[in-house]
Amino acid sequence: MRFEEANPVLRSGDYPRSRAFYADHLGFEVLEEGGDPPRFGIFRRGGTVLYVDAWHGPPAISSVGWQAYIHVIGLDEIYAELQNSGIAISRALEKTVYGMREFEITDPDGNVLCFGEDAG
């Protein structure tokens, strides 16, 4: 017996807007959508899979914490890519006390995504 994977489910108040953000601006592939019109989607970029759910209304976002943590290789390139595409960086790239290099963005619904890479 083993756990295989876990995927963050990001709540959305406007699925078409979220779809555009994740697919067009962040470069995620749309793997699957549900509803007519769609109100749920599964998005993938590399090994990262995110679920976006508009069935249950907009998110109830706390003012602290992340809704998704995305481990990457090549953090500097991803940081530059997002900056060059006009994505607002909500926390600049920095080295943490726990041995990671990270930055954050916030999606149109207020979901905070942290991108991180081992500083070693």
Q: In this predicted structure, what is the pLDDT of residue 21?
A: 98
CA–CA distances in Å: residue 93 to residues 31, 47, 117, 119: 29, 22, 11, 12
What domains can you pick out in the chain, each with its CATH number? Answer: 9-58+65-118 (3.10.180.10)
Look up the pTM and report it.
Answer: 0.92
- State the DSSP string of 72-89: -S-HHHHHHHHHHTTPPE
**For 8-58, how does the pLDDT look when each residue is reduced to its tens digit (9 = 90+)?**
999 999 999 999 999 999 999 999 999 999 999 999 999 999 999 999 988
**For 79-104, how does the pLDDT look when each residue is reduced to its tens digit (9 = 90+)?**
999 999 999 999 999 999 999 999 99
Q: In this predicted structure, what is the pLDDT of residue 65?
A: 86
Q: In this predicted structure, what is the pLDDT of residue 62?
A: 64
